[in-house]
Structure 1
Amino acid sequence: MARHTVTTAALAATAALLLTACGGGDDRSPDDIKGADSGPNDSPSAAASASARSEGPELSLPKDVDLVFDFGKPSDAKHAAALADAQNYLRAMYHGIVAQDPDDPAYGYYSGGQAAQYVKSQIQASVKGGWTPSGTEKYYDEDVTTLSDGKRTLVTFCSNQSKIFSKDIKSGKVNRTEESLSSYLKFRLLMLPPSGSSQVWKAQVSEVISKAKECRV
């Protein structure tokens, strides 16, 4: 895992967010979001219990939703903590979508600023569309770097959504799609260290790049 330093400006310059609905096909409609300048394989239940802080919110997901994190554990303690809570940020997003609750407290525990707004907009989109996720999403090729201020951390990784789909809540029908370049995403999360009484790293900026060719392996 990388230990090099990147600048905050470099992150901010690329933070044009793309929202994507679950599914592997080409029918997703990304929307730009601004706000970058505001300040080992797991089952869903096992991953949540292993990685979440004991005082943290409930992150369990239904049996038909599996988030697989194919990550190694960084030797640097701060990098390991930032990576673990980046995972919890994604679990919290899915928890809110499954709960159909745009104000679900789980994602607020692991995020703030634009990153929290990103999750809220994803949940709102699922509520409006009447869908919930179903299937398996795999995350891999993680990289953890320290920003030039020596405190904030940039966590990046790939996502394969070719096996996770949207499911109509009323009918229960799973809208399956074929694998394509649109199945692959690149995540860049700006993680802030614990402050005050908090013991978690929080995502402050969430950049999601669609059709990530480097992730199609």
Structure 2
Amino acid sequence: MKRRSLPVAAALAAAAVLLLTACGSSDDASKANDEIAGADAGSEQESATPATRPSDTAQHPKVTLPKDVANVFEGWKTGDATKDAVLADTSRRVDALTYAITQAEPDEPALGFYYKGDALLGAADWVQEFVKAKKSMTGETRYFKPTVDVYADGKATLTYCSFEGKAFVKDRKTGEAEKTPVTDDSYLLYSTRMEKNEKGVWQTAVLNSERGNDTCAP
């Protein structure tokens, strides 16, 4: 999995927000203090943990985010059972990574439940960057415009957007958030490849992101 470039020194110097809710990017080096995922809460939003999700046989790990952190998923249902299962496990994966960051736990078991292979290694490295920088996160991230393609049995691709304008890096000791203005780079386009394992879980095998993509711009 390729990982986004997030210059820690620059973020600390400029009090920049830190992109947090994904571990993949078209960039190479991953540093954890640039800009974290935040979200503009629209008039119609879906909860990060919808009341009903596609059923499956796996016992999913329970993840509870801190009260000052939220992931919001808009348009995250299609009416197709398989596609909705892909989206459900993706939202759970996003929550799992967010949780691991807030808990400063690169070895959080939920990561291995929703990631696999290089994507799992990248997610753990991503969390470790936060730990090294003594940072966490606060605020809200909005995810929208999901497009799922189930191209083979147990295999799918998923693209979606995020808006990161209302979530920020937080100093773990002081609790102070590092805020910066919203720019085009607050919008990201994600491209993922998903694989369904023997437990019925759609795991993320590949995850890349691109900042400022026109697809996600307002």
Fold shared by both chains (TM-score > 0.5): yes
Identify the residue that residue 141 of structure 2 maps to in structure 1: 137
Corresponding letter in the other structure for 1:203:
T
Match of 2:181 among 163, 178, 186: 178
Identify the residue that residue 209 of structure 1 maps to in structure 2: 210
Shift of 1:50: 4.8
Report the count of equivalent residues: 190
2:188 alignment partner, SS class: strand
Deviation beyond 6 Å, 4+ runs, structure 1: 25-30
User: Is residue 137–residue 161 contact of structure 1 (8 Å, CA) maintained in 2?
Assistant: yes
User: Is residue 51–residue 88 contact of structure 1 (8 Å, CA) maintained in 2?
Assistant: no
Q: TM-score, normalised by structure 1?
A: 0.77
Match of 2:90 among 81, 86, 91: 86
Identify the residue that residue 160 of structure 1 maps to in structure 2: 163
1:32 alignment partner, SS class: coil
User: Is residue 42–residue 67 contact of structure 1 (8 Å, CA) maintained in 2?
Assistant: no
Q: Residues of 1 paired with 2:47 and 2:153: CA distance?
A: 33
User: Is residue 68–residue 138 contact of structure 1 (8 Å, CA) maintained in 2?
Assistant: yes
Over the matched positions of the two proteins, sequence identity in percent amounts to 27
Match of 1:188 among 188, 191, 203: 191
Shift of 1:188: 1.2
The RMSD of aligned alpha carbons is: 2.7
Alpha carbons of 1:49 and 1:166: their partners in 2 closer, same or farther (altered >3 Å)? farther
Shift of 1:151: 3.5
Q: Which runs of 5+ in 1 are unaligned?
A: 1-14, 34-39
Q: TM-score, normalised by structure 2?
A: 0.77
Q: Residues of 2 paired with 1:77 and 1:50: CA distance?
A: 12
User: Is residue 19–residue 122 contact of structure 1 (8 Å, CA) maintained in 2?
Assistant: no
From the two aligned structures, give the one with the greater helix fraction.
1
Q: Residues of 2 paired with 1:136 and 1:51: CA distance?
A: 21
Identify the residue that residue 18 of structure 1 maps to in structure 2: 4
